[in-house]
Amino acid sequence: MELEAGTLRPLVVKAMRAILRDLSATPIPVMIQAVYRSEGGDVRGEDLGVPAYHAAAAIQKAPESDEARRFADYLWSRNAPKKTLICDSGEPGRSGWESFIFAEHLTSPLLFLLARSATADLANTGSYRPRGRR
């Protein structure tokens, strides 16, 4: 069965919003990283605290949200996307498939955007505004 954009798009948006919601209630670890900033026409590196969203507990638990579950259910019901998985303990099941689907379609894109946003804030202002916070 084909995926319907009108059905899939809101499922992805709701699942990503659920991840952001969960992140907003979770302490985000900080790592020190060189950030290059422009000051008076010069570019200089500065060691700044950068949010390590990928290490936050909420990212690890993203598949547990109802919204992520509905996203996975829809893809599973449409037999998409197909993945070839190998499992040492026999035939891989849905949970293995889901871990790839969540990473590929939800958490990885969201982590990329959160990291880019934080880095842009740090490069422009020297501080960042945590995303997903109310």
Q: What is the pTM of this model?
A: 0.79
Residue ranges making up the domain that contains 64: 5-27+54-125
87-105 burial, b at 16+ Cβ within 10 Å, e below that, comes to eeeeeeeeeebbeebbeeb
Specify if 109 maps to a domain: yes
What is the count of structural domains for the chain? 1
Considering the domain boundaries, does residue 42 fall inside one?
no
> pLDDT band for position 131 (50/70/90)?
low
pLDDT tens digits for 19-61? 888 888 888 889 999 999 888 889 989 999 999 988 887 777 7
Q: What is the pLDDT of residues 54-88, one digit of tens each?
A: 888 777 777 778 999 999 999 999 987 777 777 77
Rounded to a whole number, what is the distance in angstroms from the first to the last CA of the chain? 39
In a domain, 46, yes or no: no
